[in-house]
Amino acid sequence: MSYARLEEGLTLECGSVLAPLDVAYRTYGQLSAARDNAILVCHALTGDQFLAEQHPVTGKPGWWSRMVGPGLPIDTDRFFVICTNVLGGCMGSTGPRSLQENGEPWGTDFPPITIRDMVRAQALLLNHLGIGRLFAAIGGSMGGMQVLQWVATYPERVFAAMPIATSPFHSAQNIAFNEVSRQAISADPEWHNGRYWDYGAVPARGLGVARMMAHITYLSEEALTRKFGRRVRRDPAIKGDTALEPASLFGEMFEVESYLRHQGSSFVRRFDANSYLTITRAMDYFDLSAEYDGDISAPFLGCKTRFCVVSFSSDWLFPTSQSRLLARALNRAGVNVSFVEIDSDRGHDAFLLDEPDFDRTMRGFINGAAEHAGLGKAG
């Protein structure tokens, strides 16, 4: 696993210091001689750095394999694409699973982090790689929060930015869902106040419940209805639920239930519960306007970065209204911004799925920005 150990470490917003700091990352394509073709892709809550290659734990394709690769909208024949595991994650970057100086894992003693801390860790990695300026920062959901924070913190270091299916602040509803997730995890006795490793345990049920709930919020009602509707399936696991023969509905379960259970149980094999707690908190803290009296424009005044803000029509977790708010704020700040709402009935997850209009938007924005950056046209 590629990672950089940054001995100087990082002083977090909360005042704690993480030193040394590990940033795990993967790259795709070649850095140009001018070092001007780097694209940073930022992952979402449960994503990781395995963007465009087989995942070492699940064996599945990278989470954005359909978007990133030779000839694809984020074209690795042309760009040098970097993806880091976020600070606080569990795939190699410093996080709750990392060891403290005393040799113990951090667990819940891991200090609270923010989206800005995540971005500053990425900036340290770019320094380490000798990349001063990104051609583009791109990401969806929590990845989009990082993109926004990148431009707010380092406006000179990002030529183009695409925040996708995201928001300039985490909403009360989303904070509420995250809080229920955290309660589900901490309610699991196998969580052992976050020291589950001491007991050879994993809070699998609690983390599974958290994932199941979150998964509903990633889909639209339409998508759930189309995928599952009210169809039932016979499942041996549910037979014991009733004293009846499975001759009727009562012996069966709905397909959507079976699907969610699978989502919950497969997730816990690859994700750390304390990372989930840490990262959801970071999302909840996110509010770009907090230091500016609620003015979302303020962090972007005078900024030269070219923006393309993307939302999906059926996304109710990060609804179009929040992207529109962002686009208007960028406009008010005099920033070069385009705003695209992709018509899709697949909810928040649409940004990960095959959406041809989205691919065209991505290609168009990257090609246009590359031309303005003097990188020339695609070959």
- Binding-site entries for substrate: 211, 349
Shortest separation between residue 308's beta carbon and a copy of itself, angstroms:
25
Residue type for 254, please? F
Residue type for 237, please? A
- Looking at beta carbons only, is 119 or 209 nearer to a copy of itself? 209
Q: Which residues contact 283 (CB under 8 A, 6 or more apart)?
A: 45, 115, 142, 145, 170, 174, 178
Shortest separation between residue 69's beta carbon and a copy of itself, angstroms:
33
Q: Which of 99, 244, 353, 378 binds a copy of itself (CB under 8 A)?
A: 244
Active site residues: 141, 315, 348
Is residue 329 within 8 Å of 205, Cβ to Cβ?
A: no
Token look-up 């699998």 returns 204
Site string for a copy of itself, 207-226 (x = CB under 8 A): -xx--xx--x--x-x--xx-
Give the 3-state secondary structure of residue 288: coil
Nearest one of 95, 87, 81, 84 to 116, comparing CA atoms: 87
Shortest separation between residue 345's beta carbon and a copy of itself, angstroms:
13
- Per-residue buried b or exposed e for 135-151, using 16+ beta carbons within 10 Å of the residue's own CB: bbbbbbbbbbbbbbbbb
Site string for a copy of itself, 153-172 (x = CB under 8 A): ----------------xxxx
Vertex 211, ends 208 and 212: CA angle to 5°? 85
Integer Cα distance of 45 and 283 in angstroms: 8
The residue range among 9-17, 44-52, 131-139, 330-338 that interacts with a copy of itself, by the rule CB under 8 A, is 9-17
Shortest separation between residue 105's beta carbon and a copy of itself, angstroms:
15
Q: Which residues bind a copy of itself (CB under 8 A)?
A: 14-16, 108-109, 111-112, 169-173, 175-177, 179-180, 183-184, 187-189, 205-206, 208-209, 212-213, 216, 219, 221, 224-225, 227-230, 241-244, 248-250, 254, 256-257, 260-261, 264, 284-285, 287, 316, 319
